[in-house]
Amino acid sequence: MDALISGRGGVALVVDGDRVGSIHAAEPDRLVPRRLGELRFLIGEGKDFVALENVSQEEITYELLQARACEEALIRALVDCNT
């Protein structure tokens, strides 16, 4: 399985052979089947994607949750700096 992970978007785009799907930080244990045409809506303007190759769904979920936690920590730190 290969994946593109966005902590900012809270989403992992997953490719497994000829199947594609997504995993979302809000529901990390669920792989949502997708069609190729849907992926552009999930990517949006995301520029923080990290590529993973030959990984399991569990590894994708772990990396997604870590990336999301880092993004949330950064936002909190920036907000605290401005107060």
**Prediction pTM value:** 0.88
Instruction: List the one residue out of 27, 64, 61, 34 whose CA is nearest residue 49.
Output: 64
In the predicted structure, residue 79 carries a pLDDT above the cut 80: yes
Count how many residues are written for the chain. Answer: 83
Beta carbons of 20 and 14 less than 8 angstroms apart? yes
Mean pLDDT of 34-53: 88
45-66 tens-digit pLDDT = 778 899 999 999 999 999 999 9
In the predicted structure, residue 35 carries a pLDDT above the cut 80: yes
pLDDT of residue 66: 97
pLDDT of residue 83: 65
pLDDT of residue 46: 73
